[in-house]
Structure 1
């Protein structure tokens, strides 16, 4: 990671300002904080380390051979979950229980334990297996080491931001840190809506025959049932996030390769939504937030534990519930493993028509059209 002032100079060049501390917006401050390694214990890791802007804000480092989980600042700690894509995370509402849907909705992280993007931004710096700072006070001291941050925080959040008492248990400067990152994550850099699909809706791109078949299948209620979890608006609505922000257990197996790394117990089970302190009912065991399908073709591996490498494997996994001929995992050459949490699998949402190989190819082709324009070269690179 380059020195933080390199990024500051870029912002200055872009905005043509002469005094960054006086001119920077909250979102621009958030961008600098997002890229700064000063907020990890050994000063080697930033938010962008695990959410790389050039890779749709996912972690593409070769941490585990298959990029299943992220490596911490200490160069030895590993997570237990595949790092979620930060792009389009700003489409999620705060975590809540919807009385009409009878479902938990929204939040950040795969279990929704952070209500907002600001709440989420507070987590990694203090997580011992991620950025590893011992407490929020240490982060605030790191901010105060930098005169630019001191001046900017005082202008944006008040002259006494570094002196004020904690509000609801949170230091004001730490809250400012989180608010700035949230402001950055709410910019178009994280949600550009300029994929081939978006251009198709505007009449600027013509879908291929295969892509159009995939689109038809995706939106159909009589075929694959994708839209029961990955559709928020009506068919072909603009700025569709391709997730309903709800939680499901689709029967994902545990990842033996991940467990073999040795940082998890052999009988490790990820309980998903039940790991959220706000949730206690056993019926939510093993449910995870439905991810956005935006940029899905360039953000593998897939599922909460990175158990599947290829997008086509994911489609075959879904199909194996309805297709008696789809018995073998193409990545292992062995039968599909049992679900990690079998008792709460959402079987109704998985019920669909069996798919032919051509229909699977069509669905994958359609999902590739959800790739933001700036990431389309990643598609081309993966096909070489």
Structure 2
């Protein structure tokens, strides 16, 4: 359970410390709005634990916002807030390689890992230190201003000095690093990686009371077969980390690719960046990569865990439905029936960055089969894929998917 952002029981006279561990301290810091300039925003504001640690704010039509509003109530970012769930497993940002499974493609070699869409933070602690100082997020002027807010809370002072040393507040950078370390400790707890989805439960022994049976001819089973297929889809190429059946599969290889995502024009209109602005992704936002033009437009492959409840999709939130994402992938292939974006009713927009398109990965696999020759009807295979992706939802968030949706997918 998330703690209230106002300290713990220690300040009320109890002999027990308000925060007995770094994890408990980090949990409170994660939800503390006092660490933002106007005291209105915390980490949990954009990473709501009730919506799989993504932004739960909605537009007037009830859809989830594509980008988050800052502490000032006005500023808008340009990227969708990713889920903090399973983020602990991302390797430190590096130029490396990894084995690919259930893929016709060669093993991956290149930039991988890190936090944020562009990998610019090496790990969770570095990531946690970014938003408080970002002028369009939590808006604090500098580290010293954040530390001053920590010093306002006597429970924090006691906890920091006990957990990080009595001299922790003697140096601003030391105190700020201790804060980010505590938040990272919280984000490394089981709450952020329960591995208890229906998919995970299907890996259990059939005698286990938590076991989940896909059913041999259910839509879910069909979608699973498609996902892990080498010849039918290319999903596993970028979204499978371990050999099939792994109990710690995160459904991302942490690779960086340009998959041809178009501009989210509604966001650009709202945030005022204008038609000339281009989000260059990995190349433009990661100092380690520098000015390497071959990295322009690339973004980190996200986890598919909880993807059915963390809409909207892509790094800029340009698509609202999972089925749209799958049709978008398919439309790049010659002969695809999905030539129209179902959310706009017109042809797919051009990629924001045309260079460095991941042609080998995106054009792998065959076309999705459709129920109608002109593609006007829903594809059984796309529906099956969506059903499988639904089973990657953690148990605590399964209620966010309607009973009718579950029943339709599990019917044999």
Query: How would you bin the TM-score normalised by the shorter chain?
Result: over 0.9
> 2:78, 2:271 within 8 Å by CA — same for their partners in 1?
no
- Which 5+ residue runs of structure 2 have no aligned equivalent? 99-107, 370-378, 407-412
Tell me the equivalent position of 2:374.
none
Task: Quote the Cα distance in structure 1 between the aligned partners of 2:404 and 2:325.
Answer: 17
Task: Quote the Cα distance in structure 2 between the aligned partners of 1:225 and 1:2.
Answer: 42
RMSD, matched Cα: 2.1
Tell me the equivalent position of 1:353.
366
Tell me the equivalent position of 2:318.
307
Task: Quote the Cα distance in structure 1 between the aligned partners of 2:325 and 2:115.
Answer: 23
> 1:125, 1:133 within 8 Å by CA — same for their partners in 2?
yes
Q: Are positions 1:125 and 2:132 aligned together?
A: yes
Task: Quote the Cα distance in structure 1 between the aligned partners of 2:165 and 2:52.
Answer: 34
> 2:226, 2:385 within 8 Å by CA — same for their partners in 1?
yes
Task: Quote the Cα distance in structure 2 between the aligned partners of 1:324 and 1:372.
Answer: 33
Tell me the equivalent position of 2:213.
206
Deviations 1:294-313 (A, max 9, x none): 00000000001111010110
Identify the match of residue 294 of structure 1 among 295, 302, 305.
305
> 1:317, 1:329 within 8 Å by CA — same for their partners in 2?
yes
Number of aligned positions between the proteins: 372
Cα deviation, residue 267, structure 1:
2.4
Task: Quote the Cα distance in structure 2 between the aligned partners of 1:324 and 1:252.
Answer: 17
SS at match of 2:27: helix
Deviations 1:212-268 (A, max 9, x none): 111111111101110111010011211100000111111111111112214211222
Task: Quote the Cα distance in structure 2 between the aligned partners of 1:20 and 1:285.
Answer: 49
Task: Please give the TM-score of this superposition, normalised by the length of structure 2.
Answer: 0.86
Distance of aligned partners of 1:94 and 1:205 in 2 relative to their CA distance in 1, 3 Å threshold:
same
Task: Quote the Cα distance in structure 2 between the aligned partners of 1:8 and 1:149.
Answer: 9
> 2:160, 2:168 within 8 Å by CA — same for their partners in 1?
yes
Tell me the equivalent position of 1:41.
37
Matches within 5 A, 1:245-284: 245-274=254-283, 275-279=285-289, 280-284=291-295
Task: Quote the Cα distance in structure 2 between the aligned partners of 1:8 and 1:162.
Answer: 20
Task: Please give the TM-score of this superposition, normalised by the length of structure 1.
Answer: 0.93
Q: Which moved more, 1:269-278 or 1:70-79?
A: 269-278
Deviations 1:330-357 (A, max 9, x none): 0011011111111111011012200121
Task: Quote the Cα distance in structure 1 between the aligned partners of 2:96 and 2:80.
Answer: 27
> 1:214, 1:362 within 8 Å by CA — same for their partners in 2?
yes
SS at match of 1:97: strand
- Which 5+ residue runs of structure 1 have no aligned equivalent? none
Identify the match of residue 155 of structure 1 among 159, 162, 177.
162
Matches within 5 A, 1:1-384: 4-5=5-6, 8=8, 18-21=15-18, 24-62=20-58, 66=63, 67-98=65-96, 101-164=108-171, 171-202=173-204, 203=206, 204-208=211-215, 209-274=218-283, 275-279=285-289, 280-322=291-333, 323-351=335-363, 352-356=365-369, 357-380=379-402
Runs of 4+ off more than 6 Å: none
